[in-house]
Amino acid sequence: MKETTRNALDFADPGPLPKELMDVPGFVNGLKEHTMRTAPRPNEVLAFAGALAMLAHLSGRASRDRRGTRTNLYIAALADTGMGKDEPRLVNKRLAEAVGAPHAVPDSIASGEGLEDAVAATPALLLQTDEADTLFTAMRGTASRASRMNEMLLRFFTESRGAHAMRQRAGDGTVKVIPEPHLTLLATGIPKFFYRSLSEKVVENGLLGRCLFFEAETFCPLGEMESESLPAEVLAFARRLCARELVSQESGTITPALVDETPKASERLRSVFAFCDEMTQRLRASDFGTAAALYVRLPEKLLKLAMLRAISRNDQNPVMDTPDIDWSAQLATHLTKKMIYMTQFYVSEGKFDSLKKRVLATLSMAGGEMSRSELLRRLHVDSATFQKVILTLHMCEMIEEEYVSRNKIIYTLKNAA
């Protein structure tokens, strides 16, 4: 998506993910660069998201910070068809197989009950699925199956530092407990279908706020698609972390190592947390509930990212320093701003509200203005419905209407900067 230059909406587009934010020394860079060398279309955003998800998985139940924060992440990696969404998942599966844990990286799970059973069998689990839009579309409904999956994802995210009590089965009076479950999610999808799957319920019930969204916005040409083995340093790193999880499973005792922080890092964190709180309060006071729901979760995601950068640099003695905090704050803030920008267009209250937002999105992505004939052609609606939407937006002073000639009308986002 191109960056808009005329925007009458409440939140501006922060643009594509800056290249410098995809530079994480150590394991993440090693796996990312390997993925790009082997991919048909080398896509840095997707490769980076995949490597980050794999590190979040490998460090599961093995690392914590002073606050008890764990490294489980929920990641959605978005790109158009044929732009390389498969390769990061395939590389992660190959790495899991190479370290003897292929069962820990399933492709998909159909229900909340199935997810619960899978985590019970493998407490540190990386769920990879190419159905990000299907996952969130299901959660828009009220069906018990969709609600159960939503519930499981929310519970596992927050229970990573505690325990999960499983559902009781018929005829079984016992309750099985999963100690410190560590679920990591890597869901890929096509941007337009994914964003259309969102709803206020999904945003404000906490699931969307717990996710990191990486969108590959630029076209990636075909690469060399080299066939090579996983880098030795990447394999050695993964084996060290897998060995810790194996000891936990065999002994039944989970003793995650402390990812400590320097005094300067602690000071920087306090400053960032204060900013997040201020932004959340301002957004709530201004009745931007969706944006507030995303900002309020930013500190938690920031901590997880800072821990992962420290582990990626040195898994045997990780310590968070100021550069780790600064990087994680910039990355988490950029991704949050991007999601807030996109939810303006897609999170709606019914079909008419959705159509209004489609008009604003279409105008915004076209640079802020468009002729009536072109806008009507893009929306695929009848002229009567189109006129009702245009009239509503005009009355709300969100667009301007200009008669250029007898047969040509131009619509412009009002007060566009």
Q: Which domains does the chain have, with CATH numbers?
A: 19-259 (3.40.50), 351-413 (1.10.10.10)
Q: Are 257 and 310 spatial neighbours (Cβ–Cβ below 8 Å)? A: no
pTM of the model: 0.85
Task: Measure the CA angle with vertex 298, ends 293 and 301; round to 5°.
Answer: 125
Q: Are 80 and 191 spatial neighbours (Cβ–Cβ below 8 Å)? A: yes
- Compute mean pLDDT per 10 residues along the chain, 417 residues long, and list them: 39 90 98 95 96 96 94 94 91 96 89 91 93 67 66 92 84 80 94 79 75 89 83 96 80 87 97 94 84 91 97 96 98 93 75 80 84 88 87 84 85 70
Residue 146 has a pLDDT of 61
Residue 142 has a pLDDT of 55
- Where does 161-274 show beta strands of DSSP type E? 163-165, 177-179, 182-189, 211-215, 257-258, 260-261
Residue 144 has a pLDDT of 56
Task: Measure the CA angle with vertex 166, ends 160 and 171; round to 5°.
Answer: 170
> DSSP class of residue 100?
T
Residue 133 has a pLDDT of 72
Residue 197 has a pLDDT of 77
Closest CA to 370 of 383, 380, 359, 381: 359
